[in-house]
Protein backbone atom coordinates (compact mmCIF):
# COMPACT_ATOMS: atom_id res chain seq x y z
CA UNK A 1 0.00 0.00 0.00
CA UNK A 2 2.80 2.44 0.92
CA UNK A 3 4.81 1.68 -2.21
CA UNK A 4 1.74 2.07 -4.44
CA UNK A 5 0.96 5.42 -2.79
CA UNK A 6 4.48 6.67 -3.52
CA UNK A 7 4.15 5.51 -7.13
CA UNK A 8 0.83 7.33 -7.51
CA UNK A 9 2.33 10.52 -6.08
CA UNK A 10 5.26 10.25 -8.49
CA UNK A 11 2.86 9.88 -11.41
CA UNK A 12 0.96 13.00 -10.35
CA UNK A 13 4.18 15.02 -10.14
CA UNK A 14 5.40 13.65 -13.48
CA UNK A 15 2.18 14.83 -15.12
CA UNK A 16 2.71 18.46 -14.03
CA UNK A 17 2.88 20.70 -17.11
CA UNK A 18 6.21 22.28 -17.99
CA UNK A 19 4.95 25.77 -17.08
CA UNK A 20 4.08 24.68 -13.53
CA UNK A 21 6.28 26.22 -10.85
CA UNK A 22 6.78 23.77 -8.00
CA UNK A 23 7.22 25.31 -4.56
CA UNK A 24 8.00 28.78 -6.05
CA UNK A 25 4.68 30.56 -5.82
CA UNK A 26 2.47 31.26 -2.86
CA UNK A 27 -1.21 32.24 -3.02
CA UNK A 28 -1.85 35.97 -2.77
CA UNK A 29 -4.95 36.56 -0.68
CA UNK A 30 -6.86 39.72 -0.02
CA UNK A 31 -6.98 40.47 3.71
CA UNK A 32 -9.93 38.80 5.39
CA UNK A 33 -10.70 36.34 2.58
CA UNK A 34 -8.42 33.53 3.72
CA UNK A 35 -7.50 30.39 1.81
CA UNK A 36 -9.78 27.69 0.40
CA UNK A 37 -8.70 24.11 -0.32
CA UNK A 38 -10.73 21.51 -2.21
CA UNK A 39 -9.39 17.95 -1.80
CA UNK A 40 -10.57 15.14 -4.10
CA UNK A 41 -9.38 11.59 -4.67
CA UNK A 42 -9.86 7.86 -4.09
CA UNK A 43 -10.15 6.47 -0.56
CA UNK A 44 -9.36 3.12 1.00
CA UNK A 45 -10.80 1.98 4.34
CA UNK A 46 -9.39 -0.61 6.73
CA UNK A 47 -11.88 -1.83 9.38
CA UNK A 48 -10.66 -2.30 12.94
CA UNK A 49 -11.95 -4.15 16.00
CA UNK A 50 -15.06 -6.30 15.64
CA UNK A 51 -15.88 -4.71 12.29
CA UNK A 52 -12.74 -6.28 10.81
CA UNK A 53 -14.07 -9.78 11.54
CA UNK A 54 -16.90 -9.18 9.04
CA UNK A 55 -15.46 -6.71 6.52
CA UNK A 56 -11.98 -6.94 5.04
CA UNK A 57 -11.74 -3.54 3.34
CA UNK A 58 -13.66 -0.85 1.47
CA UNK A 59 -12.95 1.38 -1.51
CA UNK A 60 -14.47 4.61 -2.71
CA UNK A 61 -13.91 8.31 -3.14
CA UNK A 62 -14.43 11.56 -1.34
CA UNK A 63 -14.15 15.31 -1.26
CA UNK A 64 -12.97 17.66 1.47
CA UNK A 65 -13.36 21.44 1.65
CA UNK A 66 -11.39 23.51 4.12
CA UNK A 67 -11.12 27.24 4.76
CA UNK A 68 -8.26 28.94 6.59
CA UNK A 69 -9.06 32.40 7.84
CA UNK A 70 -5.88 34.02 6.46
CA UNK A 71 -2.71 32.93 4.66
CA UNK A 72 -0.56 33.26 7.81
CA UNK A 73 -2.70 31.42 10.42
CA UNK A 74 -2.80 27.62 10.89
CA UNK A 75 -6.44 27.59 12.08
CA UNK A 76 -9.24 26.63 9.71
CA UNK A 77 -12.51 24.74 9.33
CA UNK A 78 -12.95 21.54 7.34
CA UNK A 79 -15.84 19.52 5.94
CA UNK A 80 -15.61 16.02 4.41
CA UNK A 81 -17.88 13.69 2.45
CA UNK A 82 -16.95 10.14 1.44
CA UNK A 83 -18.69 7.11 -0.08
CA UNK A 84 -17.20 3.63 0.37
CA UNK A 85 -18.20 0.22 -0.96
CA UNK A 86 -17.31 -2.90 1.04
CA UNK A 87 -19.10 -5.61 -0.94
CA UNK A 88 -20.85 -6.24 -4.26
CA UNK A 89 -22.95 -9.11 -5.65
CA UNK A 90 -24.14 -9.51 -9.21
CA UNK A 91 -26.82 -11.95 -10.39
CA UNK A 92 -28.57 -12.60 -13.70
CA UNK A 93 -32.31 -12.87 -12.97
CA UNK A 94 -35.65 -12.78 -14.89
CA UNK A 95 -37.30 -9.37 -15.09
CA UNK A 96 -40.30 -10.77 -13.21
CA UNK A 97 -42.08 -14.04 -12.49
CA UNK A 98 -44.30 -13.48 -15.53
CA UNK A 99 -41.66 -11.97 -17.85
CA UNK A 100 -39.20 -14.81 -17.42
CA UNK A 101 -37.66 -14.65 -20.91
CA UNK A 102 -36.12 -11.23 -20.31
CA UNK A 103 -33.09 -11.24 -18.01
CA UNK A 104 -31.53 -8.30 -16.22
CA UNK A 105 -28.50 -7.72 -14.04
CA UNK A 106 -29.32 -7.42 -10.34
CA UNK A 107 -26.55 -5.82 -8.29
CA UNK A 108 -26.50 -5.66 -4.50
CA UNK A 109 -23.94 -3.34 -2.93
CA UNK A 110 -22.92 -2.71 0.68
CA UNK A 111 -21.93 0.89 1.30
CA UNK A 112 -20.87 3.47 3.86
CA UNK A 113 -21.41 7.22 3.65
CA UNK A 114 -19.59 9.51 6.09
CA UNK A 115 -20.13 13.27 6.37
CA UNK A 116 -18.44 15.39 9.00
CA UNK A 117 -16.81 18.67 9.87
CA UNK A 118 -14.59 20.34 12.42
CA UNK A 119 -11.41 22.35 12.98
CA UNK A 120 -8.21 21.91 10.97
CA UNK A 121 -4.69 23.05 11.84
CA UNK A 122 -2.20 23.31 8.96
CA UNK A 123 1.28 24.73 8.42
CA UNK A 124 0.18 27.50 6.03
CA UNK A 125 3.38 27.97 4.01
CA UNK A 126 6.37 26.00 2.80
CA UNK A 127 7.15 23.15 0.38
CA UNK A 128 5.45 20.55 2.63
CA UNK A 129 2.35 21.52 4.64
CA UNK A 130 1.27 18.97 7.28
CA UNK A 131 -2.21 19.25 8.79
CA UNK A 132 -4.33 17.66 11.50
CA UNK A 133 -8.08 17.82 12.07
CA UNK A 134 -10.95 16.52 14.15
CA UNK A 135 -14.56 16.02 13.11
CA UNK A 136 -18.06 15.13 14.21
CA UNK A 137 -20.79 14.07 11.85
CA UNK A 138 -22.92 11.19 10.62
CA UNK A 139 -22.12 7.72 9.26
CA UNK A 140 -24.65 5.75 7.26
CA UNK A 141 -24.35 2.02 6.48
CA UNK A 142 -26.75 0.69 3.85
CA UNK A 143 -27.31 -2.21 1.45
CA UNK A 144 -28.95 -1.42 -1.87
CA UNK A 145 -30.16 -3.60 -4.76
CA UNK A 146 -30.63 -2.33 -8.31
CA UNK A 147 -31.51 -3.84 -11.68
CA UNK A 148 -30.20 -2.69 -15.04
CA UNK A 149 -28.97 -3.64 -18.48
CA UNK A 150 -25.74 -5.24 -19.65
CA UNK A 151 -24.03 -1.85 -19.97
CA UNK A 152 -24.30 -1.12 -16.26
CA UNK A 153 -27.25 1.29 -16.42
CA UNK A 154 -29.90 1.05 -13.70
CA UNK A 155 -33.63 1.59 -14.07
CA UNK A 156 -34.84 0.56 -10.58
CA UNK A 157 -33.31 0.33 -7.12
CA UNK A 158 -34.29 -0.24 -3.51
CA UNK A 159 -32.53 0.08 -0.17
CA UNK A 160 -32.76 -3.32 1.51
CA UNK A 161 -31.35 -2.39 4.92
CA UNK A 162 -29.75 0.63 6.57
CA UNK A 163 -28.49 2.02 9.87
CA UNK A 164 -26.91 5.35 10.71
CA UNK A 165 -25.99 7.67 13.53
CA UNK A 166 -23.43 9.92 15.15
CA UNK A 167 -19.79 9.58 14.12
CA UNK A 168 -16.59 11.29 15.18
CA UNK A 169 -12.88 11.01 14.61
CA UNK A 170 -9.60 12.65 13.80
CA UNK A 171 -6.96 12.56 11.12
CA UNK A 172 -4.04 14.23 9.45
CA UNK A 173 -1.92 14.39 6.35
CA UNK A 174 0.22 16.64 4.25
CA UNK A 175 -0.02 18.74 1.13
CA UNK A 176 2.89 19.21 -1.29
CA UNK A 177 1.99 22.31 -3.30
CA UNK A 178 2.93 23.54 -6.74
CA UNK A 179 1.41 26.30 -8.84
CA UNK A 180 -0.03 26.08 -12.35
CA UNK A 181 -0.75 29.53 -13.76
CA UNK A 182 -3.19 31.17 -11.33
CA UNK A 183 -4.16 28.06 -9.36
CA UNK A 184 -2.28 26.40 -6.51
CA UNK A 185 -2.43 22.59 -6.67
CA UNK A 186 -1.03 20.07 -4.19
CA UNK A 187 -0.53 16.35 -3.87
CA UNK A 188 -2.61 15.50 -0.80
CA UNK A 189 -2.10 12.33 1.28
CA UNK A 190 -3.50 11.46 4.69
CA UNK A 191 -5.42 9.17 7.01
CA UNK A 192 -8.34 9.46 9.40
CA UNK A 193 -10.02 7.33 12.04
CA UNK A 194 -13.82 7.17 11.93
CA UNK A 195 -15.61 5.99 15.07
CA UNK A 196 -19.25 5.11 14.45
CA UNK A 197 -19.99 3.16 17.61
CA UNK A 198 -22.31 0.18 17.22
CA UNK A 199 -24.03 -0.37 13.87
CA UNK A 200 -26.22 -3.11 12.43
CA UNK A 201 -25.27 -3.86 8.83
CA UNK A 202 -25.13 -6.51 6.12
CA UNK A 203 -22.20 -7.88 4.21
CA UNK A 204 -21.98 -9.72 0.90
CA UNK A 205 -24.31 -12.76 0.91
CA UNK A 206 -26.45 -11.59 3.83
CA UNK A 207 -29.57 -10.92 1.70
CA UNK A 208 -31.28 -14.24 1.00
CA UNK A 209 -34.27 -14.63 -1.34
CA UNK A 210 -37.03 -16.81 0.11
CA UNK A 211 -39.33 -19.09 -1.99
CA UNK A 212 -42.36 -16.93 -1.13
CA UNK A 213 -40.67 -13.80 -2.51
CA UNK A 214 -39.71 -12.32 0.85
CA UNK A 215 -36.16 -11.46 1.91
CA UNK A 216 -34.14 -12.79 4.83
CA UNK A 217 -31.45 -10.54 6.30
CA UNK A 218 -28.56 -12.06 8.21
CA UNK A 219 -27.62 -8.89 10.06
CA UNK A 220 -24.37 -8.19 11.92
CA UNK A 221 -24.24 -5.91 14.95
CA UNK A 222 -20.78 -4.76 16.04
CA UNK A 223 -18.76 -1.63 16.49
CA UNK A 224 -18.11 -0.29 12.99
CA UNK A 225 -14.92 1.75 13.22
CA UNK A 226 -12.30 2.04 10.50
CA UNK A 227 -9.23 3.86 9.29
CA UNK A 228 -9.56 5.67 5.99
CA UNK A 229 -6.59 6.54 3.75
CA UNK A 230 -6.50 8.89 0.79
CA UNK A 231 -4.09 10.03 -1.89
CA UNK A 232 -5.40 12.70 -4.20
CA UNK A 233 -5.16 16.28 -5.36
CA UNK A 234 -5.90 19.50 -3.49
CA UNK A 235 -6.90 22.68 -5.33
CA UNK A 236 -6.72 26.22 -3.97
CA UNK A 237 -8.72 28.44 -6.34
CA UNK A 238 -7.23 31.63 -4.88
CA UNK A 239 -5.37 34.06 -7.10
CA UNK A 240 -1.62 33.30 -7.20
CA UNK A 241 1.47 35.39 -7.70
CA UNK A 242 5.15 35.57 -6.83
CA UNK A 243 6.39 36.15 -3.29
Per-residue pLDDT, 38: 92
This prediction has a pTM of 0.80
Residue 106 has pLDDT above 90, yes or no: no
Contact status, residue 145 vs residue 162, Cβ threshold 8 Å? no
Per-residue pLDDT, 154: 66
Residue 6 has pLDDT above 70, yes or no: no
Q: What is the pLDDT of residues 185-219, one digit of tens each?
A: 899 999 999 999 999 999 998 998 888 878 899 99
Q: What is the pLDDT of residues 148-186, one digit of tens each?
A: 766 666 677 889 999 999 999 999 999 998 776 667 789
Per-residue pLDDT, 151: 65
Rounded Cα gap, residues 216 and 205, in angstroms: 11
Residue ranges of domains in the chain, CATH in brackets: 2-242 (2.40.160.20)
Candidates 237, 208, 229, 235; CA nearest to 91 is: 208
Please work out, in degrees rounded to the nearest 5, the angle formed at the alpha carbon of residue 93 by the alpha carbons of 92 and 96: 155
Percent residues over pLDDT 90 in the chain: 54
Amino acid sequence: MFRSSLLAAACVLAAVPADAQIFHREPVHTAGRGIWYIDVGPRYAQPIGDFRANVASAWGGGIGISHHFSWFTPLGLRGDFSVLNYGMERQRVPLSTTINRVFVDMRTSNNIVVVGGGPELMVPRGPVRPYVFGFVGYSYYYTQSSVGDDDGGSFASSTNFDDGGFASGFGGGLRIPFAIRRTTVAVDAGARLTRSGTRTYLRRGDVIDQPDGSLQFNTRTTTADFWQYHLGVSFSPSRSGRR
